[in-house]
Amino acid sequence: MTTMQEPTQAPRIAGWLLAPLAWLLMTLLSSTIALAIYLMMLISPESHRLMSAQGPKMVIFWYTSIACAIAMWGYTMWLTIAFFKRRKNVVRHYIFWLLLSVLLAIKTFAFSPVSDTLALRQLMFPLLAAALLVPYLKRSSRVKQTFIKP
With cut-offs at 50, 70 and 90, classify the pLDDT of residue 43: confident
Q: What's the confidence (pLDDT) of residue 10?
A: 64
Question: b vs e for 127-142, b when ≥16 Cβ sit within 10 Å of the residue's Cβ?
Answer: eebbeebbeebeeeee
Q: What's the confidence (pLDDT) of residue 8?
A: 61
pTM above 0.85, yes or no: no
Average pLDDT of the residues in 63-68: 86
Tell me: the pLDDT tens digits for 94-149?
999 999 999 988 887 777 777 878 878 888 988 999 999 999 989 988 888 888 88
Q: Is the pLDDT of residue 77 over 80?
A: yes
Q: What mean pLDDT, rounded, does the chain reach? A: 85
Q: What's the confidence (pLDDT) of residue 82?
A: 93
Percent helix, strand and coil across the chain, each to the nearest 5? 80, 0, 20
DSSP sequence for 115-150? -HHHHHHHHHHHHHHHHHHHHHHHH-HHHHHH--B-
